Structure 1
């Protein structure tokens, strides 16, 4: 049998675990010869055998194993002619993602071979466009036009070109030549930014104002500066032009927000009620605020209902220049954004007014700004948990769910990506109440990243037991003991960096729970006398010690947790550059961090640290003390 590890079929950080599993199997007396068969459940050996060319029949004793569909899918992807076996696999294990992927490939191949009856009989809807079109075209070839055209509108009405396999079906559908449908699709393509396809669709419209308008505005998407050469009246002369203009303006202001802001804002009287125009004004406010352009205030005031993103961008700019009067003009007490309320209170204080009402309202939120506002009025922090009450019946259903059973086994074997795919497929169409129950189950079964992710997608912030779990407590406490770094800070960094995923790898190649760049990890390992063997950077025992040591070094350098956290994210040399201003008020210093990512990062880490102190039953220092350097994060 070909060596599975040497074949490079698993990521490096998983190969250690695979090697250990294979060695365990040998030591337990398992027969490692694939030709002799293997004991049920030895998933890794079966995967290795299939990869080396074994026939699936050698693993007949695995068909009752929850992970058999993964082994079988690997085999049948290379053996698409085993029709009866593949069909049986579909019928038994269709919920497994690799089987659904195999199904799509097999359906298209059978169609290309002209086996239309097999396609029509064995197609399952997966959402895959090629497979869907192959099925429709097969039904058409069999003379079943009704089946071929069933719900065809949803397939055709796409902002992108659709698989050519659907062409013969579209050719017999009257809707494909309907001018109103074509216009609607061209508009969809335009707003999606697909200018070329929008023009192609426009060319199929009857010659007239609609065709020329779509074509003209699609060209503006390609060359936004062309808008400047047109008259405002020509850009708003028809309802269609008014519908298309905001998307082109959004492209224009992205080129140069300061230069083109007056041009973009002149259309308020005509487009005030247009949702896309309001979205453009929100983007304009953000762009101008980032450039510290005073026109940001004008753009913000033109919005009929300012977005939270625009409000926060404008406040970041106004706080940075300490324009308290403009902050008071931009924010009123009815705002529900804790950032807006906190800075309204600060602005009121700075201009001789009482800010307690704004602080009191902001302090009702569990957030960075809510904690700062509570400090201002001496109020207790509001953690406002709304914990999930598990339903015994629903939790038992999850325990028996085949997809979730597979996810648990995949995670055990080190395939976190496949496990996550199973979980997200289960969660996809769940109603919120049941999905919340699922996040509880996920947390109890160690799938913390997935639980946090799903709650975030639901914008459900209040189950803090699930959102702020405390796995790896042994490792965190050991890192605290070795480096002196506060365990709540370690947990806050882990939560922000990886959401408790020990196998996380970022686009910058940062790795593990605390997302360490390999070069930094090597320096910290040398400092602690640790060996970074193979995939050791992913080992929670090692990763937490290396990350905590780096935090300790950053705190030793800056003696401030906000600055040290910023250095952990953006690098200490950048923080050195930022230390030339606003050290008299660290809340303003944080707002003036030039990088959006780092600014948000620091706020979240400080907020999460308070939550973890609450979770772990520790004394909770005030947020103000943390910011102003009166709190020792490293002992």
Structure 2
């Protein structure tokens, strides 16, 4: 069969499916089966069975995905009208990107600059972006837009595709590649980028500056090189200080004393800018506070003298709280911007500080205000006051016709059909696209709709994104109840705690998979599963809710045993690993639990523990509990390392 004949078939088929009379209505279950059959035949559009299937799929939500498959297979000029019509109809939807990318690659290869420019959109594809900029230069050799695109594509810390070479050559020949841009790219390559670029970039620098490339490589490989003053010749001090700042910021994280000694020497020899001093002081302050270092106070004060941010103030507060300097705590809190995202945390510690300095009335006012709110600090405040937490539950009541209106939208229909077919990734893509098409009120409705469909993860995300947080039964659902109840009982752990872990780990998404490789509802690592089961565990089996919950709750029991039945330490261990958590225990003397949580070095684990504790309280009350778990937590202490 010739290519030309094949292209004609595609045109005929697509046009036919758009003009065919719909077949008698079929049930959705039957159309799902026909859809799967049509997908298999999509690459052979002249097939009579395929034509028949497309007639029968008329009106089925996922029919466009069959058309997408056919057009993506044959993205040629003969199909231009069909492709243009399809891309216009499904612009920005998940149906758009796969076809648009193939179409643009074809147009680029066929040297069709006008059509390429017409269909072009930045999709994060470097090759296509380079082609677009090159086409702009073909039209106008001095195009400012093209040169700006070329600059942005070149000044990155990674290697770019060879397809960009022609564009970069034109950009360079036009005199746009300056030494400053070479330096900027070298800095990006050294600081978190691809360091193998540095030797090449070094050759693009003036001869007397090329030593800086070697210096970048030295410090990238070993930050301790900043302690050797002989490495820094002082020929280009402004550039050398950039390398020094990078090295010092890395060095303070693993060799604090050497970093401090190095700074003392370097600061007397080099003129660091105010911006660089701010960067160094901020980094030094936080890492010294993390380690409770003897110079932490000095650096915290120094960093705070610049424009302090919430993270710096948080660690400054944690440091003075460790020292029981309650008046200093109030002074630090007074510097916090009113709009700070961590305002609840600062309000809680302000109340604690007021109590410690004898201002009990002010302390009570602060605690009562917090206790009316539903979050970790509100629950802590209620625990301090020996009151039941305020859940502020206000379920949404949305008329059926409004819910049906959102449910009838094409993207929603496609998402639900993908779920019926067990294609959860495709379903989520369509649902995420749907959110971009909705008003704020419709987003709340969509969250309710997702909950009604048993799509709990999207309901949870939907309520969070819409800003409506008071529908607790939908935001804190209890699917997989029987599995969690029975396994919690089997492993002698609190079922509300198990629900809280699942809610935080996956939002009840059975097929959740993290970048680190954790899988399923409870985000169990394959290695952990193998250790617990004492045998090899297939990764796919961890996506089975029954197996996943059994192993996840077994792991919770294991951590409780490791942490002397302390559920808070076990919670931190679930996120960070029990060995690391043991390193975070106080060196000597007991530490109040709320303060220990506040000084967990990892922000992710710190927030994780706070969230799980709050969720556990909510689930405890959902399950009929009448106890304020935070009454005990608010007065607990963490014992030192044994």
Structure 1 position 49 matched with structure 2 position 55: no
Q: Contact (CA 8 Å) 1:300, 1:306: kept in 2 or not? A: no
CA deviation vs aligned residue, 1:226-265 (integer Å, no higher than 9, x gap): 5442799969966x88788655543443463432135558
1:142-168 deviations in Å (ceiling 9; x for gaps): x63399875652453243265554555
Contact in 1 for aligned 2:38/2:54 (Cα 8 Å): no
1:107 aligns with 2:109: no
* Structure 2 counterpart of 1:177: 175
How far apart, in 1, do the equivalents of 2:72 and 2:415 lie?
21
Aligned to 1:187: 184
Match of 2:567 among 557, 561, 570: 561
RMSD (Å), alpha carbons: 5.4
Change (3 A) 1:423 1:345: same
Contact persistence 2:313–2:333 (CA under 8 A)? no
- Residues 435-459 of structure 1: per-residue CA shift (max 9 Å, x gap): 6676565555544434555777x69
Paired residue secondary structure (1:501): coil
Could you tell me how far 1:299 is from its partner in structure 2? 2.2
Give unpaired runs (5+ residues) of structure 1. Answer: 1-28, 31-37, 527-531, 631-635
Alpha-carbon distance in structure 2 between the residues aligned to 1:465 and 1:76: 45
3-state SS in 2 of match to 1:40: helix
Structure 2 gaps of 5+ residues are: 1-25, 337-341, 638-642
- Show the 5 A alignment for 1:480-629: 483=490, 485-507=493-515, 509-517=517-525, 537-540=542-545, 543-544=548-549, 547-548=552-553, 551=556, 558-566=564-572, 568-569=574-575, 585-587=592-594, 590=597, 598-613=605-620, 618-626=625-633
- The answer to whether 1:289 aligns with 2:284 is no
Provide TM-score, normalisation by structure 2: 0.69
1:501 Cα deviation from its structure 2 partner:
1.0
> Which aligned pairs between 1:134-213 and structure 2 lie closer than 5 A?
134-138=131-135, 144-145=139-140, 153-154=148-149, 156-158=151-153, 159-160=155-156, 163-166=161-164, 168=166, 177-178=175-176, 183=180, 186-187=183-184, 190=187, 193=191, 194=193
Distance 1:384 1:260, change over 3 A: farther
Q: State the 1:190 CA deviation.
A: 2.9
Report if the CA contact (8 A) 2:484-2:499 is conserved: no
1:222 paired residue number: 220
Distance 1:616 1:326 in 2: 42
Task: State the shift of 1:186 in Å.
Answer: 4.9
Structure 1 stretch displaced more, 388-397 or 88-97: 388-397
Specify the alignment match of 1:479 in structure 2: 486
**TM-score, normalisation: structure 1:** 0.69
The alpha-carbon deviation at position 623 of structure 1 amounts to 0.7
* Contact map agreement 1:561 1:627 (CA 8 A) in 2: no
Aligned pair in 2 of structure 1 residues 445, 122: CA closer, same or farther (>3 Å)?
Answer: same
CA distance in 2, matches of 1:78, 1:553: 52
- Hey, what does 2:54 align to over in structure 1? 60
Q: Residues 236 and 245 of structure 1 are in contact (CA less than 8 Å); yes or no, is this contact kept in structure 2?
A: no
Contact persistence 2:198–2:217 (CA under 8 A)? no
SS at match of 2:419: helix
Match of 2:332 in 1: 331
Q: How big is the shift at 1:305? A: 3.7
Matched, 1:468 2:475: yes
Partner residue in 1 for 2:426: 418
Query: Are the structure 2 counterparts of residues 245 and 73 from structure 1 closer, same or farther at C-alpha, using a change threshold of 3 Å?
Result: farther
Aligned length: 579
Contact 2:456–2:477 under 8 Å retained in 1: no
For residues 43 and 625 of structure 1, the distance between their equivalents in structure 2, rounded to whole angstroms, comes to 59
